[in-house]
A and B are shown apart, each in its own frame.
Chain A
């Protein structure tokens, strides 16, 4: 049990009768591993990882994150416990536009973890210099490029010293030449042993970093395998069709 970071059992969610966003999903992610979730848009991959930190309620089944179990009854206390230990990075960065870069990062450590402002700022500056954007600390999000904003968002998630990081299409809103600066940061985090669940279309990243690839379609898990196997010899016709499509791009 101790080695499991995330486990879902028979997780289901439907928006309208008979139409499933998540259909009977049972998966497991071990500590220190990277799971990459792939699939066409609307397949439920974002919905899935958003259930892990309680952003998305669900109808049936259960989710166990870092030993905290939640079910379809929305237990706010448990969900906040999870959120304090899980970081999330969004497609649209979602930085707080009215706060400086430094304030964006120190807000949660000071408010949630009650850390001393000076200590939180030192930690934030350390994270920013790791991301290569320490010089931007007093700027505002709108003054930064997309890639820089996403790196700030990663630093903000890391500031709470999370045990699990969730990435919801972190590079989909970026200019093509900005994608790698974000992926590089994520590669480094994976090397440092961070447990990560990443929704992405970046095949090269998945091949290099993932321990496991999960392919979803229409709310169902179509297949789970190692990246080597998935990208060279996908078992299902649906997966092969998807891979053909994204290779054409």
Chain B
């Protein structure tokens, strides 16, 4: 009897929630149609008529909103993929440095991790953009002639032009995520028992090959889940691109909303595009995870 009462109560609650939702949505549609903004995506095919500083594929203001948003999405993808790669390199190096016996490496890495994790990402992005790049003013810094040159226009690497907005975002995200990844890597390495270090050392193996052949393969199962969530954070943090004026999906979306007033549809597009992006990252990492678990047949 009690069981039935419980069930009825839950059904009633569910119905109430649905009714409330329906009222809210109805209210929203009525108000939107009063403002002449009925829920629809047909405006996506109208010309965007705004320029984009960066677009990986050909784009002009006469192209549609949909194409402009797609360019934003590609820009996001571009900065996220390169940042993921760079952040992983920084994080692995700093994580290894943090666990090493070398005092200088260990100390440098500790300082890096502390400073980066203790300051806001937005501030760091501002630093990279306004201090590191725009702060160069008219000076061009050429560490490697013909290969690498850095100016307030961005970075030129082997004929590849990276805008200062892209570069600032890239460094900001990578250096920030790198600090967190370093801690994930350190945790993974510390999870391997000291006996494993002693075993490879007493066999005369050098530290580098012991690390590569013995320690890292055993640390990976502990590293990958933490790494996945850092990757997702990095992808989501890329929306701070708007602070340095990089035309990522969020920045383009912002312009679109300003022009069209289509906030509801635009936010749905924004949410869906991040959902897709993060599902790709999560599933990719899940595949890598399964691969490492397969090679670790002992589990």
Contacts and interface: CB of A to CB of B under 8 A. Distances in A.
Interface of A: 53-55, 80, 83-84, 86-88, 90, 92, 94-98, 107-108, 111-112, 140-142, 156-157, 160
B295 A80 contact: no
Contacts, number: 59
Across the A-B interface, give the 6 residue pairs with the lowest CB-CB distance, nearest first.
Answer: A94-B199, A108-B203, A84-B204, A83-B204, A88-B202, A94-B195
Contacts of B202: 53, 55, 83, 86-88
Contacts of A80: 204, 206
Interface string B189-203: 000010110111111
Contact of A111 (B198, B213, B218): B213
Given A140-B297, A140-B298, A142-B298, A96 B205 contact: no
Contacts of A157: 203
A94 B196 contact: yes
B214 interface: yes
Given A98-B217, A98-B296, A141-B298, 14 more contacts: A53-B202, A55-B201, A80-B206, A88-B198, A90-B199, A94-B195, A94-B198, A96-B214, A97-B296, A97-B298, A98-B297, A112-B204, A140-B298, A160-B204
A108 B202 CA distance: 10
B206 A55 contact: no
Contacts of B217: 98
Contacts of B196: 94, 96
Contacts of B193: 94
B5 interface: no
A142 B297 CA distance: 10
Contact of A108 (B198, B205, B296, B297): B205
Contacts of B209: 111
B201 A83 contact: yes
**Which has the most chain B C-beta neighbours within 10 Å: A94, A108, A140, A141?**
A94
Nearest to A166: B202
A90 B213 CA distance: 20
Interface residues of B, number: 21
Contacts of B205: 107-108, 111-112
A157 B213 CA distance: 18
Contact of B218 (A83, A87, A98, A156): A98
B78 to A, nearest CB: 36
Interface in B200-238: 200-206, 209, 213-214, 217-218
A86 B218 CA distance: 25
A197 to B, nearest CB: 13
B199 A96 contact: yes
A151 B199 CA distance: 15
Interface string B284-299: 0000000000011110
Contacts of A54: 201
Contacts of B213: 107, 111
Contacts of A55: 198, 201-202
Contacts of B201: 54-55, 83
A132 B203 CA distance: 23
A107 B199 CA distance: 12
7 contacts: A53-B202, A84-B204, A94-B198, A96-B196, A96-B199, A111-B213, A112-B204
Contacts of B203: 83, 107-108, 112, 156-157, 160
